[in-house]
Structure 1
């Protein structure tokens, strides 16, 4: 999916990637609230539009587990790779 975004120059850029677990804390803003799906309060930068998912998959992941970061709690948790629910917010390799 990320490769497809890059091939299509999503939003005019082709350097999108899955964020690292350590980077997720930079997107988490405890004092800010953006309403997510089901009107959940997400603590994420207001650059993100309302209505998004309450968390995001992040790196690292392997054949057995992947990390999911919650924008409601600020906590990342490992899940089995076959966990089929969740969202992904990509970041840019070379942000402006």
Structure 2
């Protein structure tokens, strides 16, 4: 009996050690990726993305003008489209990087033809013969950035002598965004000098002078 007890304990210990390994095998089920709704052709030269609410112009600057634009000159094209009030909108602007990314099809099932006959991954609901790049809001005179729709990334350039196309977007109810600012970013507020939350408001501050700490009261003269 004494010889068999240790072996029984070893078996029970091995069983206990086996339990955690069985738990590790059970992995939580992955949540299914929500299916994106398809773009909608509005029939007026624009396309609506129901997933973001953005309205895109079907043609880019190259298809409209057969010209490329530098960052410094791209505003000429934007202003012209807004003056025309294309499709009834006057708040056309270049997209932010996060907005331009939504045009790139990651499934590989959608392809559009550029001006050179090369296919690139955006929805063919947009007009063929366009250019596969665009200026984006993150660009500035100090930092030249262009977004490549073929590979879905932005590229910074060391000089200003860079040419590209312009693909415009509009968000209903949104005013024209300033160049270099993302439309969904809050504008920086000018901070005014204000008392901190812990300090009392000026109206509640007493005007009486405080007595210095540790001061001794002066003796009062009395008639003897």
Partner of 2:91 in structure 1?
15
| Partners of 2:163 and 2:82 in 1: CA distance | 23
1:48 equivalent to 2:126? Answer: yes
Unmatched tracts of structure 1, length 5 or more: none
What is the number of equivalent residue pairs in this alignment?
A: 95
1:46, CA displacement in angstroms? 2.3
Provide the secondary structure at the position in 2 that maps to 1:39: coil
User: Deviations 1:5-28 (Å, cap 9, x if unpaired)?
Assistant: 111111332120111111111011
Q: Distance in 2 between matches of 1:66 and 1:39?
A: 27
Change in Cα spacing, 1:94 to 1:80, as seen in structure 2 (3 Å) is: farther
**Bigger CA radius of gyration:** 2
1:93 Cα shift? 2.5
Measured on the aligned residues, the alpha-carbon RMSD in Å equals 1.8
Matched, 1:71 2:158: no
Give, in angstroms, the shift of residue 34 of structure 1: 0.5
Which of these residues, 142, 155, 163, is aligned with residue 85 of structure 1? 163
Displacement of 1:37:
1.1
Higher relative contact order (CA 8 A, sep 6+): 1
TM-score between both structures, scaled by the size of structure 1: 0.85
Q: Is the 8 A contact 1:27 1:45 kept in 2?
A: yes
Runs of at least 4 residues off by over 3 Å: none
Aligned partner of residue 73 in structure 1, secondary structure: coil
TM-score normalised by structure 2 residue count: 0.39
1:15 and 1:73, CA in 2 relative to 1: closer, same or farther beyond 3 A? same
1:42-83 per-residue CA deviation (whole Å, 9 max, x = no partner) reads 111222111000111111122222321112111111124613
List aligned pairs for 1:30-41, cutoff 5 A. 30=106, 31=108, 32-41=110-119
